[in-house]
Structure 1
Amino acid sequence: MSENKPVRRRRADADRSRAAILAAAVVLLDEQPDASLERIAEAAHVTRQTVYAHFTSRDVLLNAVLDQFTQETLEAIDNLELDEGPALDKLLRLINLSWRTFEQHPLLLHVPRTAGPDERHDPVTERFTRLIRRGQNTGEITRELPVDWLVTSVVALGHAAGESVAAGRLSTRTANKTLNTTITRLLRPDSRS
């Protein structure tokens, strides 16, 4: 049994180091998206070798940070109780929550979009799909357009708003308001039909 204590202690030390590195990376990369691993190691109070022991490259560390943001965002989204209340209202609240994440973590506006699908989007896309389908069933959301098209449009509009903020064409507040207005007009059934 005494042989396990040093192993557990090393594991606990490693877990603390990893957590410190991630916490430092979140703060530094939000302030300076191009912060080096050396600077992150310094802020985490660990050696550069310790950083490399946990994250073999800057891209691996960046992906770990993005995974952490995704997990935090999904937990907050699930607290919205998406299956209760008006679907369109819940969808707009989900979008507002996503914008608060951008405000809290400006790094997200500087991460280049991947050419192909990013599996981090899948859980959020699934929640959009569920809300839009529910809204179509209750008549709150237009039935004239397919669910998948509406989800793709909502996601694309969110990316376009983020790119406008990153390029300095819109403030975060204006982008969020404009995005909400555009999505509401896209999803709301045409009252003339």
Structure 2
Amino acid sequence: MPMIKLDKVSEKTTRRRRSDAEQSERAVVAAAVRVLGERPGASMRDVAEEAGVSRQTVYAHFPSREALLAAVLDHFTAQVLDEAREFDTAEGSARDALLGFLDGGWDLFARHSGLVRAAAAAASPGREDDLHAPFREILERLVRRGQENGEFDSALSAEWLVAALVALAHAAGEEVHAGRSGPGTAVAALRESAVRLLGAQAEEPRSRQ
């Protein structure tokens, strides 16, 4: 009878358990996005029911509501960052790539604005800056590319222009949250403001909602 190497069995079992745990964690985060997006005050039990797991399982992955919201924020960040990297490496106009970058982030914010704001508000000090860092790096590369090929004005530094673009995006989000602007109007204003800030060629306005 062949001997079974227990260390290899143990390794396979560990990998399977790790995979199951990761799958369970992803299911909980996806459920949180759906439930909290519709009902910001939903409980951890509500999230567990949506995910098809026990409340104890949710707490095993996320010991607090704040920890779950942090995971939701990471989920959204990863989604936008994946799309942003495509614009970062895209050939062609730096202007079009930068506006596409802004559109991608805005579209996600518009769909999940309440949940994104709640998750960001629950983030620990400095966490938002950490999450912004890779986006700032991509924006800076796009701005430098536009300055080097003559699409953007080079009178101001790329670092300053990136800071201004981030501030404009936050301002657009605040206008929508305060009810002073609709999402379509806000993103159109954001795009036009970005083009003017960068000294790029104006574009045809997008339809407003």
Which bracket does the TM-score occupy, shorter chain normalised? 0.7 to 0.9
Report the secondary structure of 2:121's partner residue: coil
Give the equivalent residue in structure 2 for 1:184.
195
The more displaced of 4-13 and 123-132 is 4-13
Tell me, yes or no, if structure 1 residue 64 matches structure 2 residue 71. yes
Tell me, yes or no, if structure 1 residue 30 matches structure 2 residue 41. no
The two structures, once aligned, show a CA RMSD in angstroms of 2.2
What TM-score results when the alignment is normalised by the length of structure 1?
0.88
Which residue among 31, 36, 54 is the counterpart of 1:47?
54
Aligned residues: 190
Which residue among 112, 116, 124 is the counterpart of 1:108?
116
Q: Is the contact between residue 109 and residue 166 of structure 1 (CA under 8 Å) also seen in structure 2?
A: no
The more displaced of 81-90 and 150-159 is 81-90
Judging changes above 3 Å, is the alpha-carbon distance between structure 1 residues 137 and 19 closer, same or farther for their aligned structure 2 residues? same
What TM-score results when the alignment is normalised by the length of structure 2?
0.82
| CA deviation string 1:105-164 (max 9, x = no partner) | 232244438664521111110011001111111221111212111100000000010111
Q: How many angstroms does 1:13 deviate by? A: 3.2
Unaligned residue ranges in structure 2 (runs of 5+): 1-5, 202-209
Aligned-partner Cα distance in 2 for 1:189–1:13: 50
Q: How many angstroms does 1:6 deviate by? A: 4.8
The residue type equivalent to 2:31 in the other structure is A
Tell me, yes or no, if structure 1 residue 122 matches structure 2 residue 130. no
Unaligned residue ranges in structure 1 (runs of 5+): none
Aligned-partner Cα distance in 2 for 1:44–1:57: 16
Aligned-partner Cα distance in 1 for 2:23–2:38: 23
Give the equivalent residue in structure 2 for 1:99.
106
Aligned-partner Cα distance in 1 for 2:178–2:32: 23
Q: How many angstroms does 1:24 deviate by? A: 0.3
Q: How many angstroms does 1:186 deviate by? A: 0.9
Q: How much identity, in percent, do the aligned residues show?
A: 45
Judging changes above 3 Å, is the alpha-carbon distance between structure 1 residues 189 and 78 closer, same or farther for their aligned structure 2 residues? closer
Higher RCO (C-alpha 8 Å, min separation 6): 1
The residue type equivalent to 1:112 in the other structure is A
